Structure 1
Amino acid sequence: MPTNGTVHDVGAGSAAGASGCDTLLACAAAGNVDGVAEMLRAGAHDGLEALGEACRTPLLVAAAGGHAAVVKLLVEAGADVNARDSSGKVPLMLMAEEGHAEAMEALLAAGRDVAVDLRDSNHTLLSALHLAAAAGHAACIRLLLSAGADATARDHQARTALHAAALQAKDEAVAALLHSEPVGNVNDIDALGCTAIRLASSGQNDAARASVVRQLLTAGADPALAPGRGKTALSAAAESGNDLVVTALLACGERAALEAKDRTGYTALARAVCAGHVSTVRLLLAAGADASARDSTGTGVLKMAISVPGSQELVDALLPAISAADLDYAPPGGETALWHAAQSGFGREAVLRLLEAGADPEAASAGPRTFLTAAARSRWKPDLFRALLAHPRCPDVNTAAADGSTALHSAARSGNADMVQALLSAGADAAALKACGSTVLMEAAWASDDGDTAWLASVDPDSKAKALLLAAKCNGEVLGALLAAGLECKLPT
């Protein structure tokens, strides 16, 4: 058999030249009815099974191009209506995929005397009906159904044509399928545990997707159905930020969908929060979503919000729905939302919002640290950190952790000169000692930064060797700030 790209056409003869096409394949591709008819009259029937690009016969080529009159001629001449190209598609599938309803009608009409197999599928079990549905060709769907195509047939993912149309948000295709006989079960589940309405709910926010969801709801689709504790339709829409679909689903009044949790313990609200969809969060809260719900690890939506870029806006949306108990909730061995925000790269700007809402910086947290020693370990914008220190609910800057370290020790150890300056200005004690005897200066000397350290040689003449030994890992800016504050420079022995 010829390989892809090879043209093997027999019997073109002088009639081909007269028609302006060199081969039957070329005439079929061009939709040249006269040329095809002339070649067939001249006895070019051997060319009916010639193979061109993608192993397509003249009929497959004409089908892909939607040339109805050529299709009719070729079928009447005996072309194989069930021939397959290299992708496993037969002529009917190519027409369905491209939406060539007229050519499909010609094939089906000619097929009354020739066996056109409506059950045919490609290597992934996609039938012509699946392909028409996924592409949204309603006219082709109606033709196939009237000819006897099976609307309940499933592909390799156990999806019906309705699944395919819903996934691609083809509202006209969904309408055509829902009006078919038999319709099949609108709540059929595919191999991944998804119904048509669940598939329709994922994806970009557009009117067609919402239209599909409304049609499916009218037809009896269950939006709360989620086998194996998968995502419900509402959770899928919330995760996609598809507010039009969320609105359509909420309009059906299914409270169960708001409270349903997937296998990770996430509700629709949690999905919207983690994806950063502020408008969707507001929609769900207005509908009565529970802001106190927690996932399987005990994490609440407020703490989830803090890990999202742009978390401040999410926190603002959630705070009115958060109770005092939930504001300071910490899962076993975990941290409160406030603590998490103080240490999170995305959440620091939410710290002031949480403090203003009444969050307690002294609430339980994992580990031996204090709120400020934890905050001082990370990189804050200088102005934001100063605003935190100036806040009336901010803890005392000299509160020591279990190991005796203060926020100043942490800031010095992290090598953050701006934070050191801010703490000193707020009254931090530069002479405080950790339980192990380490001073703030010692912590700063061990900060991993190769700044200008020449000044260390004059810090303590009696311990010059030790100072020079530490110099390789000191942060000149931090130490300079400490010296400028009048720090006692004696290094511990």
Structure 2
Amino acid sequence: MARIFPARSHTARPLGRTRLVLPALLVAGVTLLAGCAAEPESRQPTASPKPPAATPTPKPEPVQPDPQANADLAAAVAADDGDGVRSAIERGADLELRGEAGRTPLVAATKANAVAAATALIEAGADVNAKDDIEDSAYLYAGAEGYNEILRLTLAHGADLKSTNRFGGTALIPAGEHGHVEVTRMLLAAGIDPNHVNNLGWTALQEAVLLGTDGPDHQETVRLLLAGGADPNLRDGQGNTPLANAQARGSWALAELIQAAGGV
């Protein structure tokens, strides 16, 4: 009688080999995943070293003003002492300190025509346009009074040509009134408006005619004004031309100059 044996499976693998392969595959997979996830240490960016923080420079201590400096400045201005003015400023005197009638040291120096003191103040930076209680500045007052040296300094240090006095006039208008030839020349050269009208309705030309004389200084002043662009037919507040006013006052030399410039 023949024995019957069970049929062999062609797909069956020995159990022992399977047990060896599977753990190896698992180990290899874990190693591969770990290798993919890990960033190489060499790819990490290297931080640049920060420069050391700068040590702040200590600020110098402010100079404490000498309590006597302002009084010394006022005394130096009154004495027209330029060196005394400089000394007081170096010790902390206030260049813009208001005194009597609201005057700054420079306005006070200008009203006294204290040239040395005014020069020291202007060179130290005093405001040439600062006005006192009656709207006089160093610039305006020097022009009105014919203080040529101080006026020249103010023009060189920022004088405002459009600045006006309490009558609404520029520095040129009182210069016309007083026949200040050199002031008129300087102001026109600086570019001041020769046809500005003040609160009375007068230009510098009208003021020269109405308040001046027929003498040589006013003749030269009128000549400069006309050559500098003054309108010979600009009427005053009453509707009169400069020529009509000159004829009415008997200022025949001025009338001739105005007529020669086209005045009617």
- TM-score, normalised to structure 2, is 0.68
* 1:57-456 to 2 correspondences below 5 Å: 57-111=71-125, 116-180=126-190, 183-202=191-210, 203-254=212-263, 256=264
The separation in 2 between residues aligned to 1:164 and 1:148, in whole angstroms, is: 20
Corresponding residue of 1:327 = none
Corresponding residue of 1:48: 69
State the percentage of identical aligned residues. Answer: 30
Does the 8 A contact of 1:153 with 1:160 survive in 2?
yes
Contact 2:96/2:105 (8 A) holds in 1: yes
State how far apart, in whole Å, the 1-side matches of 2:78 and 2:144 are. 17
Post-superposition shift, 1:154? 1.1
CA distance in 1, matches of 2:78, 2:184: 24
What CA distance in whole angstroms lies between the structure 2 residues aligned with 1:157 and 1:132?
16
Residues 235 and 77 (structure 1), Cα distance of their counterparts in 2 relative to 1, 3 Å cut: farther
CA distance in 2: counterparts of 1:97 and 1:66, whole angstroms: 12
Alignment deviations for residues 150-174 of structure 1 (CA, whole Å, 9 cap, x no partner):
0111122111111121122111111
> Conserved in 2, the CA contact under 8 Å of 1:60 and 1:90?
no
Shift, 1:245, TM fit: 1.9
Provide closer, same or farther for how the CA distance between residues 151 and 59 of structure 1 changes in structure 2, counting only shifts above 3 A. Answer: same
Q: CA deviation at 1:97?
A: 3.0
Q: What is the letter of the counterpart of residue 161 of structure 1?
A: A
Which residue is 1:375 aligned to? none
Residue 177 of structure 1 and its aligned partner are, at CA, apart by: 0.9
- What is the CA RMSD across the aligned residues, in angstroms? 2.3
Contact 2:232–2:262, Cα closer than 8 Å, also in 1: no
Gaps of 5+ in 1: 1-43, 50-56, 257-493
Q: Point out which structure has higher relative CO (alpha carbons under 8 A, 6+ apart).
A: 2
Which secondary structure does the structure 2 equivalent of 1:152 belong to?
A: coil
CA contact (8 A) 1:193 1:230 kept: no
By how many angstroms is 1:238 displaced?
3.1
Counterpart contact for 1:205–1:243, Cα < 8 Å: yes
Cα distance between partner residues in 2 of 1:65 and 1:243: 45
Task: Give secondary structure in 2 for the equivalent of 1:102.
Answer: helix
Q: In 2, Cα distance between the equivalents of 1:65 and 1:224? A: 47
Q: 1:87 to 1:243 in 2, by over 3 A?
A: farther
CA gap of 1:168–1:89, structure 2 versus 1, over 3 A, is farther
Give the distance between the partners of 1:253 and 1:224, measured in 2 at CA: 8
From the superposition, tell whether residues 228 and 242 of structure 1 become closer, same or farther in structure 2 (CA, over 3 Å).
closer
For residues 367-419 of structure 1, what are the alpha-carbon distances to aligned partners after superposition, in whole Å with 9 as ceiling and x for unaligned? xxxxxxxxxxxxxxxxxxxxxxxxxxxxxxxxxxxxxxxxxxxxxxxxxxxxx
Query: SS of the counterpart of 1:179?
Result: helix
CA displacement at 1:227 relative to structure 2: 4.8
Residue of structure 1 in register with 2:35 after alignment: none
Q: Is the 8 A contact 1:169 1:208 kept in 2?
A: yes
Shift of 1:47: 2.8
Judging changes above 3 Å, is the alpha-carbon distance between structure 1 residues 247 and 61 closer, same or farther for their aligned structure 2 residues?
farther
Answer whether contact 1:141 1:177 (CA < 8 A) is retained.
Answer: no
Q: Distance in 2 between matches of 1:83 and 1:158?
A: 26
Give the SS at the match of 1:107: helix
Give 3-state SS (helix, strand or coil) of 2:101's partner.
coil
Provide the rounded CA distance (Å) in 2 between the counterparts of 1:78 and 1:98.
Answer: 23
Larger radius of gyration: 2
Aligned-pair CA distance for 1:141: 1.3
Q: 1:213 to 1:90 in 2, by over 3 A?
A: same
Number of residue pairs the alignment of both structures matches? 200
**1:71 positional shift:** 1.1
Amino acid in the other structure paired with 2:168 = A
Cα offset for 1:218? 0.3
How far off is 1:88 after superposition?
2.1
Could you tell me whether the CA contact under 8 Å between 1:60 and 1:83 is conserved in 2? no
